[in-house]
Structure 1
Amino acid sequence: MAIESQPALTASDDCLVVFRTQRSNVRGRLVRLGKTLDAVVTPHALPDVPSRYLSQAVALAALCGSPLPEGGNLNLQTRSDGAVSILVADYAAPGRLRGYARYDADKIAKGDALGDGHLALTLDPGPGEERYQGILAFENTPLAATAAAYFEQREMMPTFIRLAVADQFIRSQNAAPAQSRWHRRAGGLMMQSAATQGRDDDDEASENWRRVEMLAATVEDHELLDPELSMERLLLRLFHEEAVVVERVIPLSSFCRCSRAKVENVLLAFGAADLSDMRDESGRIVVTCEFCTAQYSFSLGDLKQAQD
């Protein structure tokens, strides 16, 4: 559906718009995250730097994973020697997100948040399909630039990616100061040439890509994040001369795969001596999910009963 003839079709937050430009044959994805990002990031109580990088990773996972069919999964990971040593973000099609980060507090003040490391993208299209993993090394490079380089080098697909993260202060509706707080927001734009596929000899397609890439590069962070600016209006602002067509709108939400039963099954694989060593001062085994921070507490008696 062409945007010019349609009213606003999307929610202001927590959705991803898949679109294309008819004139230049370039495909794009636009994501904006509010409450969903808050639900993923806030439980981890991270300092500002790792929280920002995790927010970027979650938005990037949505952009990269959105083409997957229902039941597919994209896992994005970075491992590095920087302050943020590990980033993990999952996109489960259609539209579910989770993630976590590990960091070194002593390195945060020194900058060099990501440092040198590698980005790994693992695609699982779903039952009966073959999984695929691609890895790209980076050297103190922004996450968006690293991901764009991955698609250009590994997939031979010209790619533009812009990510933005900011905080928004939301006042409680009942005016209770204790319930008013800052919320993290993220947005992103990803453009890929559907025609060139790395073919430098196609002059028209290359020119189309350069023109759209220049237009995409004019997007401002506040435009990617502003819930008062509809996503359709933003696409028209950027690409009105390219005849933008919205192909799909994907609502986004947070999720986790953990459960007490799954954790119990993992613990039951350990021997009695190992389980005894896992107990805390209260005599219980407490397991915390890395993704959602949910805690599951077991006594040795609980596990023995489950085993019987």
Structure 2
Amino acid sequence: MVSSTRLGEFGFAGDDHVVPFAVEALDVRGRAVQVGPMIDQILARHNYPEPVARLLAEVIVLTVLLGSSLKFSGKFIVQTRSDGPVDMLVADLTTPSAVRAYARFEEERLWEAVARGEDSPEALLGKGVLALTIDQGPYMQRYQGIVELNGSTLEEVARTYFRQSEQIPTEVRLGVARIVVPGENGGAERWRAGGLLIQFLPESAERSRMADLPGGDGDEQDAGNGHPQDNAWQEALALMATVETDELLDPTVGAERLLYRLFHEHGVRVYEGTDVMDQCSCSREKIRAILDGFTAEEIEESTENGVIRASCQFCSKEYVFDPAEFDGR
């Protein structure tokens, strides 16, 4: 049984903890999260340039907000592939709590774009696709939804995904910052991020009906923002619009206090949440299984200075093997 608490007198779940909630008077459900040590460890490990780190942080928060809703053992993956300087971002959450992430970028193109002032997330990603994948294991079929990247922010892309793939009215807010944590020698810079997602889930399907997407046949009819005109959902959107980025990130506010600020007039109920952590799924056994499939020629080509070295792109851990382990094939 999932426990719940009606907000009023409350403590904080703290960093790296997803807080599910419901505002029953508005037929709204959602999740909120503030991530600190987890996201700082992931970004610091690769020493990404700041524009890349900010983009990857947004993808991580989006992955956590969406993936933490899974009720089964499996993996939720968010991945971009595009033609911009940052041509791939990938983050996944293995239920219930393990998160990992990786970014690929062309450094020369990145700094050229920054020098031209083309350093917005949309410009750095360019055109391409964002794929959201649910993987329930080897004996279940994968489910994948794909959204076009066409100069929109990741928040806008997430809204479009839910509109066209899930038909669920959804609003998303993401925030990322690098802050100074007091300490010796003036303190140290640390990454923080936060996110808030709400969805409109009334009993009547008619209340949640959204405007049709453009058909792509030259029809320029204005369909507005596609959100239902239901008063409850419009009020929820108006409240979400008041959220400042600082509120999403501020550890002295906390996810619960932010929810109370937004929805206390309607009553907001929080449910037992989920911790998330920086944890890669790579292992020596998995790498060895891959090498076991190599031919003798491929093993020879992979050998350098008498050993085979394999590094995980996600966690940067290096595994070293003796080629003799794979002889006799």
Same-fold call, TM cutoff 0.5: yes
- Root-mean-square deviation over aligned CA pairs: 2.3
CA-CA distance at 1:96 after TM superposition: 1.9
Separation (CA, whole Å) in 1 of partners of 2:130 and 2:321:
36
Separation (CA, whole Å) in 1 of partners of 2:88 and 2:151:
14
What is the number of equivalent residue pairs in this alignment?
Answer: 299
Separation (CA, whole Å) in 1 of partners of 2:292 and 2:166:
42
Letter in 2 for 1:61: T
CA-CA distance at 1:68 after TM superposition: 0.4
**SS class of match (1:84):** coil
Instruction: Report the equivalent of 1:211.
Output: 235
CA-CA distance at 1:183 after TM superposition: 1.3
Instruction: Report the equivalent of 1:226.
Output: 250
In the TM superposition, what are the counterparts of 1:91-110 in structure 2 within 5 Å?
A: 91-109=93-111, 110=113
CA contact (8 A) 2:7 2:270 kept: no
**SS class of match (2:238):** helix
Separation (CA, whole Å) in 1 of partners of 2:130 and 2:154:
9
Aligned pair in 2 of structure 1 residues 6, 141: CA closer, same or farther (>3 Å)? same
Letter in 1 for 2:252: E
Aligned pair in 2 of structure 1 residues 157, 104: CA closer, same or farther (>3 Å)? same
Aligned pair in 2 of structure 1 residues 298, 2: CA closer, same or farther (>3 Å)? closer
Extract unaligned runs of 5+ from structure 2.
212-226
CA-CA distance at 1:136 after TM superposition: 1.1
Instruction: Report the equivalent of 1:274.
Output: 298
In the TM superposition, what are the counterparts of 1:24-35 in structure 2 within 5 Å?
A: 24-35=26-37
Normalising by the residue count of structure 1, what TM-score does the alignment of the two structures yield? Answer: 0.90
**SS class of match (2:265):** helix
Farther off after superposition, 295-304 or 232-241: 295-304
In the TM superposition, what are the counterparts of 1:115-194 in structure 2 within 5 Å?
A: 115-125=126-136, 129-172=140-183, 175=184, 177=185, 180-194=187-201
CA-CA distance at 1:301 after TM superposition: 2.4
In the TM superposition, what are the counterparts of 1:60-75 in structure 2 within 5 Å?
A: 60-75=62-77
Show CA shifts across 1:38-89 (max 9, x none): 2222211211111111111111001111110241320111100011100111
Aligned pair in 2 of structure 1 residues 267, 167: CA closer, same or farther (>3 Å)? same
Show CA shifts across 1:144-182 (max 9, x none): 11011100111111111111111122344xx3x49x531
Separation (CA, whole Å) in 1 of partners of 2:237 and 2:7:
21
Letter in 1 for 2:7: E
Farther off after superposition, 124-133 or 283-292: 124-133
Q: Does 1:8 align with 2:15?
A: no
Instruction: Report the equivalent of 2:56.
Output: 54
Q: Does 1:82 align with 2:84?
A: yes
Show CA shifts across 1:163-205 (max 9, x none): 1111122344xx3x49x5311111011111112654259x998
Aligned pair in 2 of structure 1 residues 266, 129: CA closer, same or farther (>3 Å)? closer
CA contact (8 A) 2:29 2:199 kept: yes
Show CA shifts across 1:217-251 (max 9, x none): 11111111111112211111111122111023111
**SS class of match (2:230):** helix
Instruction: Report the equivalent of 1:244.
Output: 268
CA contact (8 A) 1:24 1:205 kept: no
**SS class of match (2:189):** strand
Show CA shifts across 1:110-134 (max 9, x none): 1311111101011134686543111
Separation (CA, whole Å) in 2 of partners of 1:84 and 1:3:
42
CA-CA distance at 1:302 after TM superposition: 3.8
Aligned pair in 2 of structure 1 residues 42, 89: CA closer, same or farther (>3 Å)? same
Show CA shifts across 1:12-38 (max 9, x none): 211111001011111111011000112
**SS class of match (1:242):** coil
**SS class of match (2:300):** helix
